[in-house]
Amino acid sequence: MVSICKFNFGMGAMQMARQTLLEDSRQNYDWVVVDEVGKLEVAGDGLEPAVTKLAQHYKSGAASGRLLLVVREHMVEKVAHYLGIEEYRHIRMGEALPA
């Protein structure tokens, strides 16, 4: 069981989510959306290590399409630093997605 605040996630569900993220990165989708990346992942838990592998896959140019990471406002810099993402577009709630 993985817990954060009042939420509890079964290990089987987390493993399935990690596997799905890695599989989706190889499917040439226009978008892969991860909702959300935050405290658990920065601590090496939750969707890790899949999120790091996913980010590396996109940064290397091996993946086509776009990667959208949903991150709470106060965690944006921490998540970007943790994942080694230097260039990104910060889209706030209500803003249009890039074409």
Bridge partners of residue 82, in order along the sequence = none
Does 96 fall in a domain? no
56 is in which domain, residue-wise?
Answer: 2-83
Does 6 fall in a domain? yes
Number of Cβ within a 10 Å radius of residue 50? 22
From the centroid of its chain, how far is CA 26? 15
pLDDT value for 5: 78
Gyration radius of the chain over CA positions: 13
Residue 86 is given by DSSP the state -
Does 98 fall in a domain? no
98 band by pLDDT with thresholds 50, 70 and 90: confident
User: Has residue 52 got a pLDDT over 90?
Assistant: yes
Does 90 fall in a domain? no
CA–CA separation, 49 vs 25, rounded Å? 14
Does 94 fall in a domain? no
Does 91 fall in a domain? no
Q: What is the pTM of this model?
A: 0.88
Q: How many domains does the chain have?
A: 1
